[in-house]
């Protein structure tokens, strides 16, 4: 299959969704560049699926406008927009063969049956299912059904391809290989893809951009690195990976950075415009470095629990600023509960954020 | 030039109705032969345009103008929204003017004296609406919905808009209007009577609410009788049904399958067959009476005619329905709950009493209410066994067919019955809607359901087994009655009853169907066969709208439809007679009214089986089809309908069977020309000709069994097997069923 000629950008302008008194999506703006894969990530009920369905045209927007490829599609129904969707349950028609499933959209568009079936077979080749056209969906494995669903969406050469939690019905190993396939296909064909998931590792693995949503609004949008390494608030920090939350005292020292005191420990951090006073400090477990208790410039603490994990060790530490969860790379010299330790922080994985 | 083709088609339909076809009802039925409507001199056979031009019937002009005004909406010149507005306005105006002229101008000119006083005498008149008027109505209706969909209503989907319009029009025309007419009839008082007193007597007189029977008087009012009977029947049916359900689902009882077969009986038998059976056993010349008389020398008398007999007959009739509902309830209780209770050191009895029974409570209430409503609406058993014990449904009948033709009284009684049914319906909605503990997610938890505690099991078996034996006995004897000369007096085996009903002679011109029953059997088969696809189609369409579409007014429409479901058959019968006896829709005595009656009485079957099937169907299949550029029509026909085939079959079969076996509503609507099988049988039974009545019932039952068996055999295995539905269509039928 040739790369899609029509990959298009998606622009949401002040889009919101209300069901009676309930607000499912607060007014938000978002630009999805043509040819990129953007993930909508968030816990269940955050509005990410509603947002996707509004782009698909399956839900009407309450306010705002949606532009696809520069055209206003707000008033168009799902069938009139040039978008395709891969459903969580795949939604393959169980009474049709795989080929009929894939050709369904083409025939809807008024193409001749023979031509549609030929294109369907070509699309099945693209997803690695050559020769499976005559099977019924029920005769295929979960991963194969997933590919049929992708082929059925791709064959229409959509401006935008939408995925609604496409991997949640697969087992862990298959999930990993399918997400790599989806990413490879997207890059090979230059597709614009909007992808909904609640799994942060899946989002990190496939995305150009991640939009983290919380309580019907965007918590932060950015590249996977930005979100993991520079979260703007405690929610994003802990949603994108394990994190400790402690209170510290900030003294701004320069336009960008300041000093944060955590007990006896003072660290320099970018303050991102925070003013002097108490701030939330987020510490990734791998940023906690354990040293001898009598070393200088350390936060003193005691080991509360120690867990041997094979490749690494995990500790819970009692410190003056609260209990901290730490991951230590070396597991052989496992410390014992009750041992005093000194704690230093790495120059990555520590962030001062606004109190939540 | 490209026209909006669907809109053009509807416009042309309305045009044909206005210009070409005879507007009014013709003597030869639909008047298909009346193409001369264009040029006829007979005003009543002319089209609307012909009447307006040639006969001075000016009241057609607004309708004709509305049609003309819609013309610009069809063309390609105007923008979409503008066309939508034109079509919607023209369609709406057309409907309005059509309804107004039909309503205001009747058989004797103005329908209301006040209009004559205001505008002067009309000097002209019109009959009821015929083919032309009906098609024009449809044309305007769909022009209106086309217009609304162009304006972006109903999601801009013309199919959804049209379906909603059709359904709303059907509910208004064939349920709301008749019920309102009944209301009006209650308030119509003959000249010279004190209106308030007459109306008060109809509603609150001693014949309705009297309590004389409590103080040793003759009999109580029909309302009390009805309530007492319904409560007694509901209680006995629920208890028996529970016993059956527990045995079938929770014991190793050897004859479970046989018990389940019992549930098919009430579907295929007209309700009065049990009554006939009871007469043959306990009636004055019944088996038991004769035996007792032979031994003791004194008879038992007429005790079966009255409350005990009707109660017994209705309990026999409706226990299988309660049984079927309760099987679902008991099976729906997750075994893990009971296992949890057992691991918490509860005995089996304590588990049953504190976990199982409370979990079943909403289901029990539902079964109770279903049996209650069935008893309210039942007509066949009270008419056969009631004697002087009058319930509302029979009193309504006697008020209408009696010498005085007291329509006002019939209407008042019908309203009271409707009130009871609505009350039960509202209670049922509350109970089932809010307090269902049974998880409906198909996946059951693992684990085995606990066997019943011994005491409960013994009690259930002790109650259920004799009752099952008795039920079978009643049916067998009821049917055996057709094979002896005169039950109780002359036991000579004979086929003469069958011969009288179903004799066929060969004459010079081929076969002569000389038996007395053929005419009614053929009529019934034909009308039921016409009604079944209409019922299934409309019902599934409604189900699809409610389960899959969102549109303004959906909740209101859904509620209105649910309300129509709970109108008892006798009420509908009276309402139809009162409404369609006179123009504008004068269809009493025709086959049309019978088919309409079947369709709207059996619509619940189509809707419920459709909703049940659609709720099993993943909604994302529809959405996938939509995102794959399919129109809603394509989605419906390519994806949804093929996947709910079993529901379609269920709806078809069940509406056919019910049309064949129903009594309550059609007894008001049959005419000499269109006599129905069940009405024929009832009339024979009332006249004491039990032999023929029973012979005919036997034939009906065998016929229904054959139909269901054939469907089960042909469709059941293949279609249902693949969709892992363990319930055969028949089982699904009975749950879907309402009242007979």
pLDDT tens for residues B290-306?
888 888 777 677 788 88
- pLDDT of A5 reads 54
pLDDT, tens digit, 9 for 90 and up, residues B381-390: 898 888 888 8
Q: Kindly state the average pLDDT of the residues B496-516.
A: 79
SS3 assignment, position B575? helix
CB atoms A93 and B624 under 8 Å: yes
What ranges make up the beta strands (E) of chain A? 10-19, 22-32, 37-41, 63-68, 71-72, 83-86, 160-164, 192-197, 209-214, 217-222, 244-252, 257-262, 265-270, 277-283, 288-291, 299-308, 313-319, 322-328, 340-345, 350-353
- Average pLDDT of chain A, as a whole number: 89
Q: Quote the pLDDT of residue B105.
A: 81
Question: Which among A55, A58, A78, A148 is the top mutation candidate for probing chain B, defined by the most B β-carbons within 10 Å of its own β-carbon?
Answer: A78
Which of B47-51, B161-165, B186-190, B530-534 comes out lowest in average pLDDT? B186-190
Q: Which residue of A has its CA nearest to B151?
A: A75
Token digits of residue A119: 């294109």
What dihedral angle (degrees, nearest 10) is formed by the CA atoms of B599, B602, B607, B608? -170
Residues near B613 by beta carbon (within 8 Å), at least 6 away in sequence: B543, B643, B644, B646, B647
Asked if the model's pLDDT at residue B96 lies above 90, the reply is yes
The pLDDT of residue A94 is above 50: yes
Helices (H), B298-391: 307-332, 335-343, 348-351, 357-377, 380-385
Q: Are B76 and B150 in contact (CB under 8 A)?
A: no
B552 touches chain A (CB under 8 A): no
| pLDDT tens figures, A23-80 | 999 999 999 999 999 999 999 889 999 999 999 988 889 999 999 999 999 888 888 8
pLDDT band at B740 (very low <50, low <70, confident <90, very high): very low
Partners of B621 on chain A (C-beta within 8 Å) are: 91, 93
Around Cβ B334, how many Cβ atoms within 10 Å? Answer: 17
- Characterize B14-51 residue by residue with b for buried, 16 or more Cβ atoms within 10 angstroms of its Cβ, and e for exposed: bbbbbbbbbbbbbeeeebeebeebeebeebbbbbbbbb
Distance CA B535, CA B736 (A): 14
Check residue B4 and give its pLDDT: 75
**CA separation, residue A297 to residues A249, A347, B144 (Å):** 17, 15, 81
- Residues from chain A contacting residue B555 (CB–CB below 8 Å): none
Amino acid B39: pLDDT = 56
- The sign of the CA dihedral B410, B416, B420, B425 is positive
- Quick check: helix, strand or coil at residue A156? coil
State mean pLDDT over B117-134. 78
How large a percentage of chain B has pLDDT more than 70? Answer: 89
Look at A128-132, B316-320, B336-340 and tell me which has the smallest mean pLDDT.
Answer: B336-340
Contact A95 B643 (CB under 8 A): yes
The predicted structure's pLDDT at residue B143: 93
Residue with the bigger pLDDT between B85 and B588: it is B85
pLDDT at B216: 65
Which A residues in the span 54-113 are in contact with B, Cβ-Cβ below 8 Å?
Answer: 56-58, 60, 75, 77-79, 83-85, 87-89, 91-95, 104-105, 108-109
pLDDT digits 0-9 by tens, A341-354: 999 998 888 888 87
- Across chain B, mean pLDDT equals 81
Contact B385, B278 (CB under 8 A): yes
Mean pLDDT of B137-164: 89
**pLDDT at residue B736 greater than cutoff 50:** no
What is the predicted pLDDT for the residue at B590? 82
The yes-or-no verdict on residue B395 having pLDDT over 80 is yes
Residue A25 and residue A54 in contact, taking contact as beta carbons nearer than 8 Å: yes
Let me know: does B225 contact B391? Beta carbons within 8 Å.
yes
For residues B202-207, average pLDDT: 74
The pLDDT assigned to B715 comes to: 58
**Residue A25's pLDDT is what?**
93
Whole-number pLDDT of residue B386: 84
Query: For residue A168, how many C-alpha atoms fall within 13 Å in the half-sphere facing its CB?
Result: 16
The residue among A96, A116, A105 whose CA lies nearest residue A78 is: A105
* Candidates A79, A91, A108; nearest CB to B621: A91
Q: Which of A146-160, B56-70, B379-393 has the highest mean pLDDT?
A: A146-160
- B625 CB neighbours in chain A (<8 A) are 93, 104, 108
- Is the model's pLDDT at B419 over the cut of 60? yes
Predicted pLDDT at B38:
53
Q: Where are the alpha helices (DSSP H) in chain A?
A: 48-56, 98-108, 113-126, 142-154, 172-189, 200-206, 224-229, 234-239
Give residue A125's pLDDT: 92
Identify the CA nearest to A41 among candidates A163, A198, A179, A152. Answer: A198
Mean pLDDT calculated for residue range A123-139: 91
- pLDDT given at position B723: 36
- Nearest-neighbour CA in chain B from A49: distance (Å): 13
Q: Closest to B630 (Cβ–Cβ): which among A75, A94, A108? A: A108
């Amino acid at each position: 299959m040739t790369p899609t000629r029509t990959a298009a950008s998606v622009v949401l302008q002040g889009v919101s969704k209300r069901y009676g008194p309930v607000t499912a999506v607060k007014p938000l703006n978002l630009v999805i560049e043509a040819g990129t894969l953007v993930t909508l990530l968030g816990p269940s009920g955050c509005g990410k699926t509603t947002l996707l369905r509004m782009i698909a045209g399956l839900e009407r927007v309450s306010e705002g406008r949606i532009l696809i490829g520069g055209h206003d599609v707000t008033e168009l129904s799902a069938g009139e927009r040039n978008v395709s969707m891969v459903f969580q349950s795949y939604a393959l028609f169980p009474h049709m063969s795989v080929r009929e499933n894939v050709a369904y959209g083409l025939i809807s568009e008024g193409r001749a049956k023979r031509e549609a079936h030929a294109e369907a077979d070509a699309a099945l080749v693209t997803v690695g299912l050559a020769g499976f056209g005559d099977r019924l969906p029920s005769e295929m494995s979960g991963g194969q059904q997933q590919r049929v669903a992708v082929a059925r969406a791709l064959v229409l050469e959509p401006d935008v391809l939408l995925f609604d939690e496409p991997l949640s019905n697969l087992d862990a190993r298959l999930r990993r290989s399918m997400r790599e396939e989806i990413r490879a296909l997207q890059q090979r064909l230059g597709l614009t893809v909007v992808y909904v998931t609640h799994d942060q590792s899946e989002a990190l693995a496939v995305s150009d951009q991640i939009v983290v949503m919380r309580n019907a609004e965007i918590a932060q949008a950015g590249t996977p690195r930005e979100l993991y390494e520079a979260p703007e608030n405690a929610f994003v920090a802990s949603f994108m990976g394990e994190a400790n939350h402690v209170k510290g005292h900030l003294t701004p020292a320069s336009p960008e950075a300041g000093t944060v005191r955590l007990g006896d420990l003072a660290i320099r951090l970018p303050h991102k415009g925070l003013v002097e006073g108490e701030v939330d400090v987020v510490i990734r477990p791998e940023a906690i470095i354990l040293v001898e208790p009598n070393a200088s410039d350390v936060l003193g603490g005691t080991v509360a629990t120690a867990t041997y994990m094979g490749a690494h060790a995990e500790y819970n530490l009692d410190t003056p600023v609260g209990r901290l969860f730490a991951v230590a790379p070396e597991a052989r010299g496992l410390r014992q509960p009750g041992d005093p330790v000194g704690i230093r922080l790495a120059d990555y994985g520590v962030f001062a954020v606004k109190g939540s | 030039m490209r026209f909006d083709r669907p809109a053009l088609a509807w416009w042309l339909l309305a045009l044909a109705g206005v210009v070409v076809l005879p507007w009014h009802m013709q003597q030869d039925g639909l008047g298909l032969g009346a193409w001369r409507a264009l040029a006829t001199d007979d005003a009543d056979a002319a089209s609307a345009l012909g009447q307006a031009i040639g006969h001075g019937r000016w009241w057609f002009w607004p309708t004709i103008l509305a049609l003309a005004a819609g013309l610009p909406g069809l063309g390609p010149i105007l923008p979409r929204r503008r066309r939508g507005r034109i079509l919607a306005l023209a369609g709406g105006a057309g409907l309005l003017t059509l309804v107004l002229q039909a309503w205001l101008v009747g058989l004797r000119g103005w329908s209301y004296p006040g209009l004559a006083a205001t505008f002067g005498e009309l000097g002209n008149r019109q009959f009821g609406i015929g083919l032309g008027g009906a098609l024009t109505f449809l044309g305007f209706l769909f022009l209106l919905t086309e217009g609304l969909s162009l304006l972006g209503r109903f999601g801009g989907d013309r199919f959804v808009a049209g379906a909603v319009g059709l359904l709303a029009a059907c509910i208004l025309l064939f349920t709301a209007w008749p019920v309102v007419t009944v209301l009006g009839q209650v308030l119509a008082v003959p000249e010279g009577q004190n209106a308030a007193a007459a109306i008060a007597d109809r509603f609150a007189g001693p014949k309705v609410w009297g309590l004389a029977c409590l103080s040793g008087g003759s009999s109580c009012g029909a309302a009390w009788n009805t309530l007492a009977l319904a409560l007694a029947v509901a209680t006995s049916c629920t208890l028996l049904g529970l016993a059956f359900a527990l045995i079938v689902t929770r014991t190793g009882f050897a004859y479970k399958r046989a018990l389940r077969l019992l549930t098919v009986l009430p579907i295929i038998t007209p309700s009065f067959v049990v009554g006939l059976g009871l007469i043959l056993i306990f009636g004055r010349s019944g088996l038991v009476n004769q035996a007792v008389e032979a031994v003791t020398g004194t008879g038992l008398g007429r005790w079966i005619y009255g409350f005990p007999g009707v109660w017994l007959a209705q309990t026999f009739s409706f226990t299988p329905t309660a049984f079927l509902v309760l099987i679902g309830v008991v099976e729906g209780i997750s075994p893990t709950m009971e296992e949890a209770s057992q691991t918490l050191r509860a005995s089996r009895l304590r588990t049953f009493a504190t976990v199982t029974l409370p979990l079943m409570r909403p289901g029990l209430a539902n079964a109770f209410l279903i049996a209650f409503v069935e008893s309210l609406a039942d007509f066949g058993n009270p008419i056969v066994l009631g004697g002087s014990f009058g319930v509302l449904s029979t009193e309504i009948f006697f008020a209408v067919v009696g010498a005085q033709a007291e329509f006002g009284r019939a209407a008042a009684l019908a309203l009271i019955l409707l009130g009871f049914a609505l009350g039960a319906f509202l209670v049922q909605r509350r109970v089932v809607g809010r307090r269902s503990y049974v998880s409906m997610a198909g996946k059951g938890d693992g684990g085995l359901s606990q066997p019943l505690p011994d005491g409960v099991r013994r009690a259930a078996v002790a109650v259920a087994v004799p009752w099952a034996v008795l039920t079978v006995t009643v049916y067998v004897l009821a049917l055996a009655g057709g094979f002896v000369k005169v039950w109780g007096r002359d036991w000579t085996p004979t086929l003469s009853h069958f011969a009288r009903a179903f004799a066929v002679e060969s004459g010079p011109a081929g076969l002569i169907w000389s038996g007395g029953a053929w005419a009614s059997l053929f009529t019934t088969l034909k009308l039921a066969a016409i009604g079944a696809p209409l019922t299934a189609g409309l019902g599934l369409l409604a189900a699809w709208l409610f389960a899959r579409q969102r549109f303004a007014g959906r909740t209101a429409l859904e509620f209105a439809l649910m309300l129509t479901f709970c109108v008892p058959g006798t009420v509908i019968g009276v309402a139809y007679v009162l409404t369609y006896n006179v123009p504008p829709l004068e269809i009493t005595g025709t086959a049309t009214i019978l088919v309409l009656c079947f369709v709207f009485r059996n619509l619940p079957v189509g809707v419920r089986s459709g909703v049940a099937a659609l709720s099993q169907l993943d909604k994302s299949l529809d959405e996938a089809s939509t995102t794959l550029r399919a129109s809603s029509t394509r989605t419906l026909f390519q994806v949804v309908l093929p996947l709910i085939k079993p529901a379609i079959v269920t709806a078809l079969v069940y509406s056919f069977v019910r049309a064949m076996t129903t009594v309550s509503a059609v007894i008001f609507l049959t005419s000499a020309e269109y006599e129905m099988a069940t009405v024929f049988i009832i009339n024979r039974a009332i006249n004491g000709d039990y032999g023929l009545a029973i012979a005919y019932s036997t034939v009906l039952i065998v016929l229904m069994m054959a139909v269901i068996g054939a469907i089960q055999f042909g469709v059941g295995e293949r279609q249902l097997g693949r969709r892992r539905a363990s319930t055969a269509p028949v089982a699904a039928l009975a749950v879907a069923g309402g009242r007979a």
